[in-house]
């Protein structure tokens, strides 16, 4: 579809009033030694100063390799975890250090769907109880009673409402993920953080869940923070995409801008590593091969964190950390001393 | 039912027999809930230097098939039928000591989870040395040199130092590479890789796949790669077998499967996946329903409960008869579906292809 309105274009470019605004977000996990007298010997810099914004009805994709801080970011945004620095603003309100009680009204607005549809559901609770939990916790009465509301939700996400009294183990992976979606949807949130919601599913089931999430977004004008390591899924579902590496956002842009005009070497490497399900296209693609693994977040490289694997690194890359700056189309930002376009997919 | 899928390569010089041939492999597990019919008549051939990809959803029988080739069902309750021929020897009927001799030497396997192949309490290097010395009577120093060489080849930095590490001291990607090194210690002619990169990040996956292709060129080994990732298959395989409910539903050269598929399940798979090189705001073409239970396989076509194309079948019953796996055209492309081939081609061109 190429008929986007001016308003949509503003949203795509990540401008205008944001629903969620994250600034300098940081989460260090202390590493301690000693049994009686614990002393801190270092910190895992899981998330180290990131800026993100999400608008109403928009999907921001977050992609990056294992351990780069995606889940931690999601947990901070939903306030399941406490940031050690930075700020989180939702509809203009600063949530960063709100108490449990003050946080309660916002919990309705921001929900989360987890990667593992097996461990994220209590095996001893019925589906009805699981999906009804948000009503109970928030002390919300719904018209016609909770059961009716839950069954309507089950129907909406493609579950048989008659299975209200069944237990999670009686459902397949895809169905369990639908249960997670129904639970997240119960209180009509404005933002859902989806942490790898389809990574554990088979492709045919993955497509069902992706389609469901897209339908629900259209129907309820939901915003998603969609976390995944699969670049094809991210391209499909996102309006804008942020690429993370070792606790930092290294590039962020409108979806097609990112996939067609990426400027950061790490983004190039990621994109060129995806095996496309197209034998002929693969044969003609440029291959960038990184060597080695992601360094430890306990002791990240100085300057640019990608420099130990970057083929373009110069002295300055070890000395100065490249800031995330505007480059290319509106809303496109990259953190590299030597950004350039490159055709990789 | 006799059915076969042949690699495009000509048969091994001299013998006239393919290097690896599976004939109507069946693996059934008696369980308390009933008989699990995990593999029901898998047949294919593979030549040295070539790669065969097996794709399918979880539970379609991929891993069970690969364990059968390794002889790893022996001594379990599994009932294995059919024939597996490797370089002139039949493996299904082989004794445990015989197949153990083959394992590691002629055939090696890479698993999805490297920790299942490596012992957590022994040093990585010692495990490689042991893998070599089981089959080769050489002094330790020779085996050690080879182990360090191979660790180097698979891209482990400072292999002479990392030789002494325990598996848990390696990252996921390094463990996977170490397992590949272990699998290669005895120059196996056949390498079976079951979801070798599923747990890895794309950049590391790309390194591992490149490595497998390089080593294949060098040692002229045959590779069976099992995966649910169609991209990995497109990159690695010359021939593809699509499995569903323990059966082959379509098989052929990789281009046939990706550009001229004829089985509705293959259409569904290709339509389900988002593409990294394409934008657009279309919905994915998902397949409705869920994969079948292997205890109560549907009667007739295994895909029947999820198939949207049954109205195009004439003169057969999707719910009553299992379609045969029949060859179409000349390219050794085989399809199991009751729809007549001309009609399938028409459906693909008119309805499926435009949406892929
Ligand atoms: N509670 C914790 N204590 C210490 N370190 C932690 C903790 N939680 C996460 N980490 C570390 O923080 C880093 C980021 O973790 P996170 O789970 O956010 O990664 P991720 O991007 O979600 O990775 P994946 O793709 O594997 O899910 C990792 O190095 C991880 O080991
Ligand atoms: N030892 C066993 N006993 C009973 N059933 C088994 C056993 N091993 C595998 N199965 C079943 O066989 C089917 C195929 O399994 P598998 O080959 O592992 O699937 P995949 O295609 O995902 O690799 C599954 O239904 C699985 O539960
Ligand atoms: S700043 Fe330097 S090391 Fe970092 S990505 Fe750019 S060129 Fe590479
Ligand atoms: S045989 Fe019938 S049910 Fe099976 S794939 Fe063909 S049309 Fe569909
Ligand atoms: Mg995570
Ligand atoms: Mg498997």
Interface ipTM above 0.90: no
CB contact under 8 A, A65 and B201: yes
Distance from CA of B235 to the nearest CA of A (A): 6
| CA-A69 nearest atom, ligand 1 | 18
B291 touches chain A (CB under 8 A): yes
Q: How far apart are CA A77 and CA A96, in angstroms?
A: 9
Q: Is the CB of B304 under 6 A from ligand 2?
A: no
* Amino acid B7: pLDDT: 44
CB contact under 8 A, B235 and A232: no
* Amino acid A84: pLDDT: 96
Q: Of A219-228, B64-73, B301-310, B337-346, which gets the smallest average pLDDT? A: B64-73
| Beta bridge partner(s), residue B26 | B40, B81
Cβ-based contacts of A290 with chain B (< 8 Å):
203, 206-207
Cβ-based contacts of B55 with chain A (< 8 Å):
none
A214 touches chain B (CB under 8 A): yes
CB A231 within 8 A of CB A270: yes
CB A154 within 8 A of CB A127: yes
Residue from B176, B195, B202 to probe the interface with A (highest A Cβ count within 10 Å): B202
* Amino acid A10: pLDDT: 46
Cβ-based contacts of A259 with chain B (< 8 Å):
276-277, 279
Looking at every residue in chain A, the average pLDDT score rounds to 90
- Going by C-alpha positions, the residue among B307, B271, B282 that lies closest to residue B292 is B307
Tell me: the pLDDT tens digits for B166-217? 998 888 878 888 998 998 888 899 999 998 888 788 888 898 899 899 889 9
Using CB atoms, pick whichever of A202, A211, A256 lies closest to residue B58: A202
| CA-A317 nearest atom, ligand 3 | 2
Q: How far apart are CA B260 and CA B28, in angstroms?
A: 32
Using a 10 angstrom Cβ sphere, with 0-12 exposed, 13-18 middle and 19 or more buried, the burial of residue B75 is exposed
* Amino acid B159: pLDDT: 92
* Amino acid B15: pLDDT: 58
Residues with CB under 6 A from ligand 1: A 29, 44, 46, 64, 66-72, 229, 297
* Amino acid A208: pLDDT: 93
From A257, which residue of chain B is nearest by alpha-carbon distance? Answer: B279
Looking at every residue in chain B, the average pLDDT score rounds to 89
* Amino acid B322: pLDDT: 95
CB contact under 8 A, A204 and B274: no
Q: What are phi and psi of A261, to 5 degrees?
A: -135, 40
Neighbouring CB atoms inside 10 A of B2's CB total 9
CB contact under 8 A, B234 and A65: no
Distance from CA of A150 to the nearest CA of B (A): 22
CB A189 within 8 A of CB A162: no
Transcribe B324-342 into DSSP letters.
PEEEETTTTEEEE-SS-HH
Using CB atoms, pick whichever of B201, B258, B272 lies closest to residue A229: B201
Residue from A4, A201, A207 to probe the interface with B (highest B Cβ count within 10 Å): A207
| Region B18-40 average pLDDT | 94
Cβ-based contacts of A236 with chain B (< 8 Å):
274-275, 284
Please give the model's pTM, rounded to 2 decimal places: 0.89
From B238, which residue of chain A is nearest by alpha-carbon distance? Answer: A279
| CA-A312 nearest atom, ligand 3 | 7
Q: How confident is the model at residue B2 (pLDDT cuts 50, 70, 90)?
A: very low
CB contact under 8 A, B255 and A289: no
pLDDT lower than 50: segments of chain A: 1-7, 9-14
B207 touches chain A (CB under 8 A): yes
* Amino acid A183: pLDDT: 94
Distance from CA of A225 to the nearest CA of B (A): 18
Transcribe A3-53 into DSSP letters.
---HHHHHHHTT-SS-SEEEEEEEEEEEEEE-SSS-EEEEEEEEEEEEEEE
Transcribe B141-158 into DSSP letters.
HHHHHHHHHHHHHTT-SS
Residue A187, CB-side half-sphere exposure with 13 Å CA sphere: 24
In chain B, what's the furthest Cα-to-Cα distance? 69
Q: How confident is the model at residue B4 (pLDDT cuts 50, 70, 90)?
A: very low
Question: Looking at ligand 3, which residue's alpha carbon is closest to its atom 1?
Answer: A336
Tell me: the pLDDT tens digits for B57-96? 888 899 999 999 999 898 889 999 999 999 999 999 999 9
CB B7 within 8 A of CB B50: yes
* Contact residues for B258 (Cβ-Cβ < 8 A; gap 6+): A277, A278, A279, B230, B234, B270
Q: Is the CB of B313 under 6 A from ligand 4?
A: yes
| Region B28-32 average pLDDT | 93
């Amino acid at each position: 579809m190429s008929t986007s309105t001016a308003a949509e274009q503003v949203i795509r470019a990540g401008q205008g009033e944001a629903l969620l605004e994250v600034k300098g977000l940081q989460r260090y996990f202390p590493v301690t030694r000693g049994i009686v007298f614990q002393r801190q010997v270092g910190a895992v810099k899981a998330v180290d100063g990131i800026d993100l914004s999400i608008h109403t009805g928009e999907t921001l994709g977050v992609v990056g390799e294992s351990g780069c801080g995606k889940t931690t970011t999601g947990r901070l945004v939903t306030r399941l975890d406490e940031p050690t620095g930075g700020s989180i603003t939702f509809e203009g309100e600063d949530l960063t250090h709100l108490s449990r009680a003050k946080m309660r009204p916002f919990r309705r607005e921001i929900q989360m769907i987890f990667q593992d549809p097996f461990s994220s559901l209590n095996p001893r609770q019925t589906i009805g109880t699981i999906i009804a939990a948000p009503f109970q916790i928030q002390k919300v009465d719904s018209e016609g009673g909770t059961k009716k509301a839950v069954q309507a939700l089950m129907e909406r996400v493609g579950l048989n409402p008659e299975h209200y009294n069944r237990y999670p183990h009686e459902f397949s992976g895809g169905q369990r993920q639908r249960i997670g979606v129904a639970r997240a949807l119960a209180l009509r949130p404005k933002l859902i953080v989806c942490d790898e919601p389809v990574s554990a599913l088979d492709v045919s089931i993955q497509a069902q869940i992706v389609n469901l999430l897209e339908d629900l977004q259209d129907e309820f004008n939901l915003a998603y923070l969609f976390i995944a390591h699969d670049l094809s899924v991210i391209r499909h579902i996102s309006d804008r995409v942020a690429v993370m590496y070792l606790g930092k956002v290294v590039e962020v842009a409108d979806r097609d801008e990112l996939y067609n005009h990426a400027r950061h070497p790490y983004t190039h490497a990621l994109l060129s590593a995806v095996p496309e399900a197209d034998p002929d296209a693969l044969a003609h693609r440029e291959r960038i091969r990184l060597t080695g693994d992601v360094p430890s977040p306990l002791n990240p490289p100085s300057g640019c964190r990608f420099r130990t694997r970057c083929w373009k690194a110069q002295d300055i890359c070890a000395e100065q950390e490249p800031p995330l700056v505007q480059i290319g189309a509106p809303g496109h930002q990259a953190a590299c001393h030597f950004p350039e376009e490159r055709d990789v997919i | 039912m006799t059915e076969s899928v042949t690699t495009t390569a000509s048969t091994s010089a001299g013998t006239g027999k393919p290097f690896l041939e599976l004939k109507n492999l069946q693996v059934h597990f008696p369980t308390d809930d009933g008989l699990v019919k995990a593999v029901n008549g898998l047949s294919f051939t593979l030549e040295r230097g070539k790669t065969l990809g097996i794709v399918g959803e979880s539970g379609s029988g991929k891993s069970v098939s690969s364990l059968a080739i390794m002889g790893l069902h022996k001594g379990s309750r599994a009932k294995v039928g059919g024939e597996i021929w490797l370089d002139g020897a039949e493996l299904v009927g082989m004794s445990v000591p015989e197949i153990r001799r083959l394992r590691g030497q002629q055939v090696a396997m890479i698993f999805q989870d490297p920790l299942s192949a490596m012992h957590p309490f022994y040093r990585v290097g010692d495990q490689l040395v042991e893998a070599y010395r089981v089959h080769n009577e050489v002094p330790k120093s020779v085996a050690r040199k080879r182990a360090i060489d191979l660790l180097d080849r698979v891209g482990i930095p400072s292999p002479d130092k990392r030789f002494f590490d325990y598996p848990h001291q390696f990252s996921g990607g390094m463990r996977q590479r170490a397992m590949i090194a272990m699998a290669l210690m005895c120059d196996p002619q056949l390498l079976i890789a079951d979801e070798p990169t599923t747990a890895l990040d794309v950049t590391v996956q790309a390194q591992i796949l490149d490595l497998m292709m390089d080593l294949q060129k060098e040692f002229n080994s045959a590779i069976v790669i099992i995966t649910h990732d169609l991209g990995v298959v497109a990159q690695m395989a010359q021939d593809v077998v699509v499995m569903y409910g323990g059966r082959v539903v379509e098989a052929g050269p990789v281009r046939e499967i990706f550009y001229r598929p004829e089985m509705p399940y293959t259409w569904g798979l290709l339509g389900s996946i988002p593409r990294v090189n394409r934008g657009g705001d279309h919905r994915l073409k998902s397949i409705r329903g869920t994969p079948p239970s292997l205890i109560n396989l549907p009667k007739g076509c295994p895909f029947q409960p999820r198939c949207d194309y049954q109205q195009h079948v004439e003169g057969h019953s999707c719910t009553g008869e299992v379609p045969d796996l029949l060859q179409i055209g000349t390219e050794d492309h085989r399809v199991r579906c009751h729809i007549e081939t001309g009609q399938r081609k028409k459906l693909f061109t008119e309805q499926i292809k435009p949406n892929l």
